Structure 1
């Protein structure tokens, strides 16, 4: 349920709380004071009464609608659309606005859009943010083939509530949709400066996250890819097939550990609250309130950890907690975090032994799935991972390279900025619809880079706390240099893809019937112009070519070199294909599948 629903009710409760706190201003600042505890009990009782009233009203409305259905001669069935609307219009006592009542809300990142609603967005009677479009008629699931796909609807029954379905029907996502990041927090709070503490933090394998951020994050580009994410398969459904974020993507982009036990141990709220109170040096009542509400703000964390009385041990534990909440597990509380993982960061000797890459990816899969639902206006999780993944595989969207980047650093630091520009979401959407598989750099880290991280070929589930998501790299084998359709995937079963964008014909026949390949409806939106050929990959591919050619050129006679060259011709063809397309030296295929040949001299100056 959207965060703004029930805003009026919570405003009333918050107003009562403010009045009570003003009246108790002379009672002292001790959180254990009986008078202050009584005030909190009053607020809790008010919320509970409102919740009980809502449940009773909902039961009465359900009973009334069922009687009307029976009187009209309808048989017993599931909730009708009228009942669904009745449920949604009743105020909910647990709903609150994600960006209000937040004293630490000072994160004014450059990439964040203003949170003001456009004048034409409907505001409902409760004062919350309403959907900019109505609910589609009928049940929330598909009952038959859908225009534009899928035709075989059994595979994606819940596609009807997907944002792509609404866009196809002519509705549009609101402009205030946010992609949550903590750039300002990471810039302002750089952690302990003592060399001994820095060395110990580096030993955890997580300290480098302090530099894993980009300014000017391209929100519209990320949202264009969110519209193509399908939670049923945990993959992006593109016009040419499926792509996904793999474990070796996480390893290269964020330099996180893949091996190790999962981040799965869950502690109770009381234990997490006690740990947070110990690290920050605040009262237990305060941390209890943080976990009940929006969590602890990064400004509060910074201020408490930089106090002279804070021990070195607490500074290190607190900073690791801050890094995980600001990079890997970002939530929608603007600049707060609820550190349910604090028991991991409190163990400085063992925190680096866990598989943080799989935890980050599991959480990102879940957040992408949530963001695809119509009406959701936040993308949470590790958005830097999503954005840099796009840059790696889609060279036409890449920003300039950073001059300070050095090889073997996390690849998220390769870019000078996050690619933010004035390109609209609608323009990105049409560009993706017009692209083909030849505009993709399928192996951005090198043809065999996934062998450096064998766990990336694992097939099963990945976990972060109570989030368990399927991990199915066999759905995107082209990203492993294979073209067909397994605890570990045995890639020897699959034919190598030369050229890498090729795919088995039977796969595309299966795929087209079961997905929604294009987001923009051609009956409503004019098609985009053809996307300019992707800029070819840079240094890593040049290194790969050198590794292949140097032993032949410098180590063999002319007769042996000719034979050796023929043996490496397939690898060279793979490496040179992006450059050949960029120079327009090879025939291309348009959106309709017809060949479009371009001569060698068609690109001037090359």
Structure 2
């Protein structure tokens, strides 16, 4: 009996998933909408006066990442492309080459936020919290635009405008007010609301406890697990955002963390670091305490001109053709630590909670309860991956989807008491046990299982047959796509040869292209623009566009730029004009193209009758190359 869905997917999660806007292009005129992310014009820079409290609660590294003078630009198109591949069933991204997900290890290495501690599930907040916040800060909050009703949260812009500047001779009371305002701002960055640039009222009590208590010897709250829970829930909710909105849907995740995570692992949208601040040393004391994320935030970055920066359709294509060798599966190896830190020892905050990286406990944040499945992505930890991985831990629907709509001032600490107790008592002891190192020899077996168990590509299925029939058919389909891509790549490599002047050589290349195009069409490329043209790989030139190459080296080592040979493009797509047509793939020529060079080399004498006859024959091949391009790929 054939199954409608692969084993890892569930109908309740798949129905309405935004990936279907890519899978069924004939039913939708546009790709999924691009998300908006929180943007604040004026940032709340951290003051040295706050550092004692921030350090004691494990918040200082994250504060230095998000409240620095250096501008960190978020990429909504990259984050939107990631949402397309997020699966709520497993809490992982289902990429063409395997599962990948942000883990507690990533939280530690990128942000150094504490994981051990009390979950962020405070008691119910007061129904008159706006008045209490105003009394504590001594400044009236702006009137709400919601018809006189209570505001949804504390406005971030109001906090920045009124409390960014700490008076030079501030007394203890004034410093306490400004610290309270800064903590609310920091929580607004860590847990951005889908309702706009506000701080959730449930976090007010946490900020009060930090300000009103002396600095503890070790962090009290598990901010790291809360941020990951919030990111998981935000990604799950975002998969259902399929309709265009006048203002655009807000992606309610810790966007800075998720984008830094993507840059660590994936080449899509990743910038090249210029004038790196690593290896860390005396010159980086102003940014301390440092993490892996510091080198991205505080260094000057540049994007390559090979691909369009911030272009959602382009990022989608790059994820479609992502190969296993292009992923940095474990970006925190000893070698990576040496590259980033050199002879400087990494701060203990990053490794403080290593025993909780493999926990089996659910992650908590106020009303959210999110399963955590590290055993599905053991390669990210450099550990052996069981095939198949254990079934993902799941919650009953009413727990995983519970929210605070209509439940303002609700006491979630009582509702989630079971999960809170389990985290406090068992998070450190109940973990995945695996001492074996990862062995690449299991990769073929993993690929065979993985391709048969999920939807690896967001390519439209053939119109007359289902995408997934059996393990064998699913594996055959995805493998065939890889084989046809390789045919196209072989043809491109052949065209690079300048001595390809024989009729047999040109005929062979034409046959290769025809075979690849026909095969891709049979495998689901039903639109005219499914096979798009890629321009000739031009030399690297200074630009502000993203590079597909991961370059992270000590400043003492010369930087070597290696332009991509199989995933480059001069395609320019305006993300505001996302029409699914040939007009979305207009390429601008920059210098001689690949076929121009070849034909210029072949036709040295166009006056002879033989050459004129060859010219007519070759024009057919030129047209084929112009229409189909030297590299074929799936949209």
- From 433, 438, 445, the counterpart of 2:332: 445
Equivalent residues in 2 for 1:22-421, closer than 5 Å: 150-152=5-7, 155-170=10-25, 171=28, 177-186=34-43, 189-192=44-47, 195-213=48-66, 214-270=71-127, 272-273=129-130, 275-282=132-139, 292-305=150-163, 311-325=174-188, 327-348=189-210, 349=215, 352-375=219-242, 377-395=249-267, 397-401=269-273, 403=275, 405-406=277-278, 407=280, 409-415=290-296, 416=300
| TM-score, normalising length: structure 2 | 0.54
> How far apart in 1 are the matches of 2:276 and 2:309?
26
**Cα offsets for 1:238-262 (capped at 9, x unmatched):** 1122110001111111221122221
**Mapped pair 1:472 → 2:363:** no
> How far apart in 2 are the matches of 1:155 and 1:168?
17
**Mapped pair 1:461 → 2:362:** yes
**In the superposition, relative to structure 1, how do residues 276 and 474 fare at CA in structure 2: closer, same or farther (>3 Å)?**
same
> How far apart in 2 are the matches of 1:228 and 1:476?
15
**In the superposition, relative to structure 1, how do residues 357 and 402 fare at CA in structure 2: closer, same or farther (>3 Å)?**
farther
> How far apart in 2 are the matches of 1:301 and 1:284?
9
The number of aligned residues is 396
**In the superposition, relative to structure 1, how do residues 204 and 158 fare at CA in structure 2: closer, same or farther (>3 Å)?**
closer
Q: How far off is 1:365 after superposition?
A: 0.3
Q: How far off is 1:529 after superposition?
A: 7.7
**Residue 136 (structure 1) aligns with:** none
Once structures 1 and 2 are overlaid, which stretch shifts more, 343-352 or 415-424?
415-424
5+ long unaligned stretches in structure 1: 1-142, 544-578, 585-606
Answer whether contact 2:273 2:551 (CA < 8 A) is retained: no
Q: How far off is 1:445 after superposition?
A: 1.1
**Residue 523 (structure 1) aligns with:** 526
**In the superposition, relative to structure 1, how do residues 288 and 410 fare at CA in structure 2: closer, same or farther (>3 Å)?**
farther
**In the superposition, relative to structure 1, how do residues 154 and 237 fare at CA in structure 2: closer, same or farther (>3 Å)?**
closer
**Residue 132 (structure 1) aligns with:** none
Answer whether contact 2:272 2:302 (CA < 8 A) is retained: no
**Residue 496 (structure 1) aligns with:** 438
> How far apart in 2 are the matches of 1:275 and 1:434?
53
Answer whether contact 1:388 1:412 (CA < 8 A) is retained: yes
**In the superposition, relative to structure 1, how do residues 496 and 178 fare at CA in structure 2: closer, same or farther (>3 Å)?**
closer
- From 443, 451, 463, the counterpart of 1:512: 451
Q: How far off is 1:520 after superposition?
A: 3.3
**Residue 428 (structure 1) aligns with:** 315
Answer whether contact 1:395 1:536 (CA < 8 A) is retained: yes
Counterpart secondary structure, 1:401 = strand
> How far apart in 2 are the matches of 1:583 and 1:283?
59
5+ long unaligned stretches in structure 2: 244-248, 281-288, 338-349, 387-428, 461-524, 538-546, 567-635
**In the superposition, relative to structure 1, how do residues 418 and 314 fare at CA in structure 2: closer, same or farther (>3 Å)?**
farther
Equivalent residues in 2 for 1:587-602, closer than 5 Å: none
Counterpart secondary structure, 2:236 = helix
**In the superposition, relative to structure 1, how do residues 465 and 352 fare at CA in structure 2: closer, same or farther (>3 Å)?**
same
Answer whether contact 2:268 2:319 (CA < 8 A) is retained: no
**Residue 47 (structure 1) aligns with:** none
| TM-score, normalising length: structure 1 | 0.57
> How far apart in 2 are the matches of 1:284 and 1:424?
38
**In the superposition, relative to structure 1, how do residues 515 and 580 fare at CA in structure 2: closer, same or farther (>3 Å)?**
same
> How far apart in 2 are the matches of 1:291 and 1:410?
42
Counterpart secondary structure, 1:503 = helix
**Cα offsets for 1:253-294 (capped at 9, x unmatched):** 122112222112232342744542333225699799898333
* C-alpha RMSD of matched pairs (Å): 4.1
**Cα offsets for 1:204-232 (capped at 9, x unmatched):** 33244344245332221111111000111
> How far apart in 1 are the matches of 2:82 and 2:433?
29
Task: Specify which structure has the bigger relative contact order, considering alpha-carbon pairs within 8 angstroms and separated by 6 or more residues.
Answer: 2
Answer whether contact 1:277 1:283 (CA < 8 A) is retained: yes
